[in-house]
Chains A and B, each alone.
Chain A
Amino acid sequence: MEKKISYSEAALNLELLLEQLESGDIELELLPAKIKEAKEWIAICEAILRDTDQAIEDIIT
């Protein structure tokens, strides 16, 4: 069974990539792949956020 990625795991990976992007340490030829990976982590984070938001809404209302 595929392990479900937690928000903190996704956020940590995203943070590491952002640090690299901001510091300019990435080789330019590696940049498209890093950008793609960052976008994927952002999408995962957004999906978890959406699900969490909905779950809380369901519990509280």
Chain B
Amino acid sequence: MSTIQHIRLSELTKQLYDSIQNQFGAESYWISARAMNVKKYISNRRCYLSLEENYNGAKVAEMKAVFWSDYYHEIEKFEHAVQQAFTDGVEIICRVKVRYHAVYGLNLDVVELDIAHTLGALELERKQTLEHISQVSKGLVKEVDGMYVTPNNSLLIPSVIKRIALLTAAASDGERDFKKELHENKHAYSFHVDTYACTIQGDQAPALIKEQFSKIMNSGIKYDVVALVRGGGSLSDFKPFDTFEVAFCVAHYPIPILTGIGHDRNQSICDLMAREFKTPTKVAAWIVERNFEFENRIISLKRDIYDSVSCILNEVRVQLATAKRIVQLSDPETIINKGFAMLMQQGQIITDLDHLHKEIPLDIHVKQGNIITHIKEIQNQYGEED
């Protein structure tokens, strides 16, 4: 049997518990940290994570933390307000309670999140990104009345859109919604759509999205527009669309980009740099509507041309009708049809008595035919014989 004085582990942990409880048990603390190793258990409404602090790239502090079910709603509030998933890498300010357990060790119970801080931090980051884009673009990207004028959203869009490059996540709700709206359009317009799929969430997304933009340019296909869409499903990370890398590429891209990134509350920086339509369905609907407007313009022009031509042709018809009437009135046949007769000798119309030859038969032309007769005597208008 050992002669060294000792205590049981449980006695030590009891002392630790008492000390910690004594020192920290009644208090809660607001701390700033980065959330890492986030594991959410939605069914029992718990979230386990690490809270870390880095300084000059090196980790200087780390503790395990948990959102118990009573406080899980803080995560939901955060995601709803920030429109961003509560996930690894999120910088937060949170209120924690220190808790020690003899078996599970030292933990922090997170009881509140400072959403305003995160929103402010995001807003600041966004402002800096926008300023950076404007600076690097050397006057080509300008803010005008809260909107951004960029080389991309200044590009003219063809009156008829036929060839579309669709940049989205593979087999996503966004792709399905976009294609459904486009291909099932009520006007039966047909479209050529090529999908350029990549991951559009997570740290790798910006580089992958840029790579797809390059592929579109190198395809050799003359696309009318690029549809940049995501959407549907659960709340996801919009961060890639707020990064300088992607937003700068969008701002200077030489094919018009239509965004349907699928969030109604906020505009991503990509939305500001391109033409924004909120959802994939709205992008497709706008394309169909644009083509329909063009068709209507053509129908209207055809109607105008038809009206103008009809007007010209009607004038000509009236002129010809007048000409026919004049000719008819001048036609000797018209006069004969009224009971008058025409005198002819040897096929020549006689208009003067001096032209009559007494010895030649006289042809009296009347409505029903000719009367051939011989001249007995010719008298002038005074009854004198010629």
Binding site for B on A (CB under 8 A): 7, 11, 14, 17-18, 21-22, 27-29, 31-32, 35, 38-39, 42, 45-46, 49, 52-53, 56, 60
Contacts and interface: CB of A to CB of B under 8 A. Distances in A.
B16 to A, nearest CB: 93
Nearest to A53: B313
A45 B320 contact: yes
Contacts of B330: 21-22, 31, 35
B326 A60 contact: no
The main secondary structure of chain B at its interface with chain A is helix
Contacts of B313: 49, 52-53, 56
Contact of A42 (B309, B320, B332, B351): B320
B316 A29 contact: no
Contacts of B351: 27-29
A56 B316 CA distance: 15
Interface string B294-332: 000000001001100100010011011001101100111
Nearest to A20: B330
Contacts of B316: 7, 45, 49
A32 to B, nearest CB: 6
Contacts of A38: 323, 327
Contacts of A49: 313, 316-317, 320
Interface of B: 302, 305-306, 309, 313, 316-317, 319-320, 323-324, 326-327, 330-332, 348-349, 351
A6 B323 CA distance: 18
Given A29-B349, A29-B351, A49-B317, A39 B327 contact: yes
B331 A35 contact: yes
Contacts of A29: 348-349, 351
B349 A28 contact: yes
Given A45-B320, A46-B320, 4 more contacts: A32-B332, A38-B327, A56-B313, A60-B306
A11 to B, nearest CB: 8
A60 B302 contact: yes
Contacts of B349: 28-29, 31-32
Contacts of B309: 56, 60
Given A28-B349, A32-B332, A56-B309, A42 B327 contact: yes
A17 B324 CA distance: 12
Contacts of A60: 302, 305-306, 309
A31 B306 CA distance: 40
Contacts of B331: 31, 35
B326 A42 contact: no
B306 A56 contact: yes
A14 B306 CA distance: 27
A21 B332 contact: no
B317 A35 contact: no
Contacts of A28: 332, 349, 351
What 7 pairs across the A-B complex have the smallest Cβ distances? A21-B330, A29-B349, A38-B327, A35-B331, A28-B351, A60-B306, A56-B309
Contacts of B302: 60
A14 B302 CA distance: 32
A20 B306 CA distance: 35
Nearest to B330: A21
Contacts of A46: 320
Given A29-B351, A31-B332, A21 B306 contact: no
Nearest to B327: A38
A22 B326 contact: yes
Nearest to A48: B316
In this complex, the member of B319, B324, B330 whose beta carbon has the largest number of chain A beta carbons within 10 angstroms is B330
A35 to B, nearest CB: 5
17 contacts: A18-B323, A18-B326, A21-B326, A22-B326, A22-B330, A28-B332, A28-B351, A35-B331, A35-B332, A42-B320, A45-B323, A49-B313, A49-B317, A56-B306, A56-B313, A60-B305, A60-B306
A19 to B, nearest CB: 10
A42 B324 CA distance: 7
A35 B329 CA distance: 10
B343 to A, nearest CB: 11
